[in-house]
């Protein structure tokens, strides 16, 4: 497991740094592009000008499912004590056709754990390719919307909004953005993340 830790060291007179934890899969782990081109690193750059300082912990792992994320989260919360947790999981559950109710339970447990640790939560939703069928695709989408409402979390309904259907911004696999698409991904996240940073 690789953890990328970003952020400056606060000076002696500076306010204590706050921590933002990103728990995701390859969409947040800069799949097939340089780490510094991924949206999480671009977020760190954007946060670097904020006061107080934010430290970004990218605990994302390619291939991560909601279950493995659920299993890893408690230790991450204990170690880093984040003020904000960004959860970007579920895509691999969907691509593998795993039961939606299991995915829902795992995401709910992660939200509950983060909130119990006094962290604000941003849930990042994902959509599946059309060949997965309308019932399964819509069921997966509904999980994010329903959980955000029930758990009172911030929500980005579709992480790759404005990117996924643009061939100029997507890798050949049709699933992951090129470096050129990552700034737009960050802008999508930022719109819902920014209010949580104050």
Task: Kindly report, residue by residue over 141-186, the tens digit of the pLDDT.
Answer: 999 999 999 999 999 999 999 999 999 999 999 999 999 999 999 9
- Which one is predicted more confidently, 163 or 8? 163
Residues annotated as part of the active site: 26, 173, 176
On whether the CB atoms of residues 50 and 87 are closer than 8 A, the answer is no
On whether the CB atoms of residues 46 and 190 are closer than 8 A, the answer is yes
B/e letters for 23-35, b = 16+ CB within 10 Å, e = fewer, are: bbbbbbbbbebee
Residues found in the chain: 198
Residue 3: what pLDDT?
Answer: 55
Q: How many CB atoms lie within 10 A of CB 14?
A: 12
Mean pLDDT of 20-32: 98
Contacts 24+ apart (CB under 8 A), 138-142: 139/100, 140/90, 140/93, 140/94, 140/100, 140/103
Mean pLDDT of 132-139: 93
On whether the CB atoms of residues 5 and 42 are closer than 8 A, the answer is no
Q: How many CB atoms lie within 10 A of CB 93?
A: 26
For 123, phi then psi, to 5°, come to -100, 125
Q: What pTM does this model have?
A: 0.92
Which range has the worst mean pLDDT, 18-22, 104-108, 132-136, 181-185?
132-136
On whether the CB atoms of residues 123 and 87 are closer than 8 A, the answer is yes
On whether the CB atoms of residues 28 and 171 are closer than 8 A, the answer is no
- Check: CATH 3.40.50.1110 for 17-197? yes
């Amino acid at each position: 497991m690789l953890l990328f830790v970003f952020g400056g060291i606060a000076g002696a007179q500076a306010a204590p740094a706050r921590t933002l934890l990103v728990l995701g899969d390859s969409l947040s782990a800069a799949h097939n592009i340089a780490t510094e081109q991924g949206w999480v690193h671009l977020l760190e750059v954007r946060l670097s000008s904020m006061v107080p300082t934010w430290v970004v912990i990218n605990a994302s792992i390619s291939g991560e499912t909601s279950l493995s994320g659920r299993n890893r989260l408690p230790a991450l919360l204990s170690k880093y004590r984040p003020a904000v947790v960004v959860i970007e999981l579920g895509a691999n559950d969907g691509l593998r056709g795993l039961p939606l109710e299991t995915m829902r339970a795992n995401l709910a447990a992660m939200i509950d754990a983060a909130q119990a640790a006094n962290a604000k939560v941003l849930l990042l939703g994902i959509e599946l390719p059309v060949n997965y069928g309308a019932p399964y695709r819509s069921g997966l989408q509904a999980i994010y919307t329903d959980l955000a409402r029930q758990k009172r979390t911030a929500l980005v309904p579709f992480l790759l909004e404005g990117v996924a259907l643009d061939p100029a911004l997507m890798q050949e696999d049709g699933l992951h953005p090129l470096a050129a698409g990552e700034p737009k991904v960050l802008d999508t996240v930022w719109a819902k993340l920014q209010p949580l940073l104050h």
